Amino acid sequence: MIKQIFTWWNRQTFGTFLKTIFFGKFVGKDSFGNKYYKSKKGERWVIYSKNIEATKITTDWYMWIHYMVNDIPNENEKKYFWQKEHSENQTGTKNAYKPNKIKKNINFKKYESWKD
């Protein structure tokens, strides 16, 4: 509880905790366990399940929390076969994207400088 009062990186601050209790209406939960709330004034916010990482918000909830859509996302909504499951940003982990390294034996076309 003391961590929550003084730090913002432990899911929520004390102020967010109070705001959620007194003014927040629970509207849903995503596959990562993040909980989404809405106030009577129309404010929207998220309480993260574990570490605070903005890329954990799925695309459906991202659109809702940024006021792009007003409909609350539905987990049972049909997904296309080509749509991948949402994953958080992998930068700094072993799963980070690393493009193929340039091969050493490639002969690049050399350029010629203008002649006087």
Q: What is the pLDDT of residues 35-58, one digit of tens each?
A: 999 999 999 999 988 778 888 898
Say how far apart CA 27 and CA 91 lie, in whole Å. Answer: 30
Write down the pLDDT at residue 20: 85
Say how far apart CA 62 and CA 38 lie, in whole Å. Answer: 14
Write down the pLDDT at residue 8: 55
Say how far apart CA 18 and CA 51 lie, in whole Å. Answer: 20
Strand (E) positions, the chain? Answer: 25-29, 35-38, 44-47
Cβ-in-10-Å burial (0-12, 13-18, 19+) of 114 comes to exposed
Write down the pLDDT at residue 35: 93
Instruction: Render pLDDT for 51-80 as a digit per residue (tens, 0 to 9).
Output: 788 888 988 899 999 999 999 988 777 888
Instruction: Render pLDDT for 7-21 as a digit per residue (tens, 0 to 9).
Output: 555 667 777 888 888
Supply the pTM of this predicted model.
0.70
